[in-house]
Amino acid sequence: MLKSLCVIPARCGSKGLKDKNILELCGKPVIAYTIEVCLNSNLFDNVYVATDSEKYAEITKKYGAQAPFLEPEEMAGDNISSTEPVIWYYEQLKSKYDLLWCLQPTSPLKKVADLINAYKLLENDPNCEFALSTTIIDPHYFHWALYDKDDGYSDLYFGKKNLVDRNSLKPTAYRPNGAIKVGRTESVLKWRHFFGDNIKRVEMPEERSIHIRTQSDLDLCEFLISKKGILKLA
Examine residue 234 and state whether it is found in any structural domain, yes or no: no
Q: Decide if 2 contacts 97 (C-beta within 8 A).
A: no
Do residues 116 and 148 share a domain? no
CB atoms within 10 A of CB 197: 11
Q: Decide if 111 contacts 103 (C-beta within 8 A).
A: no
What domain count does the chain have? 2
Examine residue 232 and state whether it is found in any structural domain, yes or no: no
Do residues 88 and 144 share a domain? no
Measured CA to CA, the distance from residue 131 to residue 155 in angstroms comes to 34
Do residues 56 and 165 share a domain? no
Examine residue 233 and state whether it is found in any structural domain, yes or no: no
Do residues 15 and 100 share a domain? yes
Q: Rounded to whole angstroms, what are the CA distances from 152 to 101, 130, 144, 155, 159?
A: 44, 41, 18, 10, 18
User: Can you give the residue range of the structural domain that contains 130?
Assistant: 4-134+173-226
Do residues 59 and 118 share a domain? yes
Do residues 148 and 217 share a domain? no
Do residues 83 and 192 share a domain? yes
Examine residue 96 and state whether it is found in any structural domain, yes or no: yes
Burial of 80 (0-12, 13-18, 19+ CB in 10 A): middle
Measured CA to CA, the distance from residue 181 to residue 194 in angstroms comes to 6
Examine residue 92 and state whether it is found in any structural domain, yes or no: yes
Do residues 153 and 128 share a domain? no
* Bond preceding residue 108 cis, omega within 30 of 0: no
Do residues 160 and 105 share a domain? no
Do residues 144 and 218 share a domain? no
Do residues 178 and 71 share a domain? yes
> Long-range CB contacts (< 8 A, 24+ apart) of 112-118?
112/37, 112/40, 112/41, 114/179, 114/180, 114/202, 114/204, 115/37, 115/38, 115/41, 115/43, 115/180, 116/41, 116/43, 117/202, 118/180, 118/182, 118/202
Examine residue 214 and state whether it is found in any structural domain, yes or no: yes
Examine residue 152 and state whether it is found in any structural domain, yes or no: yes
Do residues 156 and 45 share a domain? no
- The CATH number covering residue 51 comes to 3.90.550.10
Examine residue 231 and state whether it is found in any structural domain, yes or no: no
Return per-residue pLDDT of the chain as tens, 234 residues: 999 999 999 998 777 899 999 999 999 999 999 999 999 999 999 999 999 999 999 999 999 999 999 998 887 777 789 999 999 999 999 999 999 999 999 999 999 999 999 999 999 999 999 999 999 988 888 788 999 999 999 999 988 888 888 778 788 889 999 999 999 999 999 999 999 999 999 999 999 999 999 999 999 999 999 999 999 864
